[in-house]
Amino acid sequence: MGALTLPTRLSIAALCLAILMLTGCAGSAQRHAQPPEDYFARQLPGVPGSGKALMSPVDNPVAQLRSLQTPPPALIRQALLEQHQNWAGTPYRLGGDSARGIDCSALVQQVYRDTFDLELPRSTYGQVKEGREIDRQALQAGDLVFFRPPGPYQHVGVYVGDGHFLHASTSQGVTISRLDNSYWQRYYWQARRALETTHVAQLSRTL
């Protein structure tokens, strides 16, 4: 094969340069692409989005919660949101208490056990006797919220802040809902504070 002419060499060089530029742009776009805004950032003001690793092993809210003598409400809320991430997608199953299916009182029992190392009764009947009743306007992250929907069973969830609560919904499974939703507002019953600040402080010193 004969030597390439100067115009041919210049054309090949220009083509290679163009390919390198296109590859560089694609790589740059991939590196700088931002993840879509996550559920928590949309629904709960003040909660970090996907761009900030909420559940990284280094920055674990539950570990932080148990390391502080007086955990701030925001940290309690983050720890509860971690529990939601752990259980998200779990279907509702009456009497269930595992990832294969779980009911509302079992979810609350396990969330309290895993987050606060506090053992609650298994049933809503027992949980509604825990702690003290509080006004709806005084709700804080970690409080229990109870409902009396139609049917033979009561319903319970854990308040996570900003008007939202974590629960096992019969139609959606484990989810976060708004208290001012027309359905939940209609059947709201009461709220109870089973977890006092002094109790969290005591746990923090012993764990």
Average pLDDT over residues 50-74: 46
Buried b vs exposed e over 10-39: b needs ≥16 C-beta within 10 Å? Answer: eeeeeeeeeeeeeeeeeeeeeeeeeeeebb
The mean-pLDDT minimum among 32-36, 46-50, 160-164 falls in 32-36
Q: What is the per-residue pLDDT for 46? A: 38
Phi-psi region of 49 (alpha: psi -120 to 50; beta: other; left: phi over 0): beta
Q: Is 160 strand, coil or helix?
A: strand
Asked if residue 156 is part of any domain, the answer here is yes
Average pLDDT over residues 174-203: 85
Buried b vs exposed e over 74-99: b needs ≥16 C-beta within 10 Å? Answer: ebbbbbbbbbbeebeebebbeebeee
CATH number of residue 79's parent domain: 3.90.1720.10
Q: What is the per-residue pLDDT for 15? A: 53
Give the structural domain span for 160: 74-195
How far is it, in rounded angstroms, from Cα 100 to Cα 53?
A: 27
Asked if residue 52 is part of any domain, the answer here is no
Asked if residue 170 is part of any domain, the answer here is yes
Asked if residue 114 is part of any domain, the answer here is yes
User: What residues act catalytically?
Assistant: 104, 155, 167
CA distances to 1, 33, 48, 87, 146 from 108, in Å: 78, 37, 24, 11, 11
How far is it, in rounded angstroms, from Cα 117 to Cα 105?
A: 16
Closest CA to 60 of 83, 44, 43: 83
How far is it, in rounded angstroms, from Cα 88 to Cα 168?
A: 9
* Total of domains in the chain: 1
**Residue bearing the bigger pLDDT, 59 or 152:** 152
Model confidence at 77: pLDDT above 50: yes
Average pLDDT over residues 20-38: 32
Asked if residue 150 is part of any domain, the answer here is yes
Asked if residue 176 is part of any domain, the answer here is yes
Asked if residue 166 is part of any domain, the answer here is yes
Asked if residue 27 is part of any domain, the answer here is no
- What pLDDT band is residue 22 in, cutting at 50, 70 and 90? very low
- What pLDDT band is residue 8 in, cutting at 50, 70 and 90? low
